[in-house]
């Protein structure tokens, strides 16, 4: 079978879902979604999910923690790779007031490194890149330089598109609404030896 690893840009996917569906569909089953995007001759060998922990927003952080725990409990092929949010101060040009903000760091770099490393180690035949972040174009170029016939297919989240990725990838498409709606985790997720995790009501 044709081996596929899915690389999920959590930040890009989250904001695409948020713009398209509001608070709905965040309880997303990434393994089920990636599987639904495969051809009959392909088999999913892994899902790598790149994200960063929310800072200074306790309720959002709690929802995120529940989601990450549910993903880990529900899937045996999923790996969560964490970047970070870096604090920075924003100064108003008009009044000079300052406020704290956070900028996501490392997730796209972590994704690019993992995709190139897996290509070098011959872990996939096709990389399924769930992102529309043009900053990932150099990783695709590097995989092409390695040779070996590796393919990269870009699956764009809702309301996201990248002409740079579309030109470089072996294929590209936008993930359809129906696939996203079907690829939802059960309302309650858990293992016999662990806690039961319930979909946050805020995401309904």
Q: What is the pLDDT of residues 170-204, one digit of tens each?
A: 999 999 999 999 999 999 998 767 789 999 998 87
In three-state secondary structure terms, 31 is helix
Please give the helix or strand (H or E) that residue 89 lies within, else none.
strand 84-91
Work out the angle at residue 84's Cα, subtended by the Cα atoms of residues 197 and 82, and round it to the nearest 5 degrees.
Answer: 50
Q: How does pLDDT run along the chain (204 residues), one tens digit per residue?
A: 899 999 999 999 999 999 999 999 999 999 999 999 999 999 999 999 999 877 667 898 899 999 999 999 999 999 999 975 445 556 666 776 665 554 555 788 999 999 999 999 999 999 999 999 999 999 999 999 998 999 999 999 999 999 999 999 999 999 999 999 999 999 999 876 778 999 999 887
Q: Which region, left, alpha or beta, applies to residue 25 given φ > 0 means left and ψ of -120 to 50 means alpha?
A: left
Radius of gyration of the chain (CA): 18
The class that CATH gives domain 2-190 is alpha beta
- Written as six digits, the tokens of 14 are 């989250």
């Amino acid at each position: 079978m044709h081996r596929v690893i899915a690389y999920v840009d959590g930040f890009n996917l989250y904001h695409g879902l948020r713009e398209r569906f509001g608070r709905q569909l965040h309880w997303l089953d990434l393994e089920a979604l990636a599987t639904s995007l495969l051809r009959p001759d392909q088999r999913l060998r892994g899902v790598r999910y790149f994200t960063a922990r929310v800072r200074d927003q306790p309720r959002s952080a709690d929802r995120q923690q529940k989601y990450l725990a549910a993903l880990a409990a529900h899937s045996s092929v999923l790996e969560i790779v964490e970047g970070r949010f870096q604090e920075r101060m924003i100064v108003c040009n008009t009044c000079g007031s300052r406020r704290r903000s956070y900028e996501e760091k490392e997730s796209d770099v972590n994704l690019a490194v993992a995709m190139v490393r897996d290509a070098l180690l011959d872990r996939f035949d096709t990389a399924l890149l769930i992102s529309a972040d043009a900053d990932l174009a150099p990783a695709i170029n590097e995989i092409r330089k390695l040779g070996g016939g590796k393919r990269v297919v870009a699956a764009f989240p809702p309301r996201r598109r990248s002409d740079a990725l579309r030109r470089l990838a072996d294929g590209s498409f936008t993930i359809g609404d129906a696939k996203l709606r079907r690829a939802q985790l059960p309302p309650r997720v858990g293992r016999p030896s662990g806690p039961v995790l319930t979909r946050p009501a805020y995401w309904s």
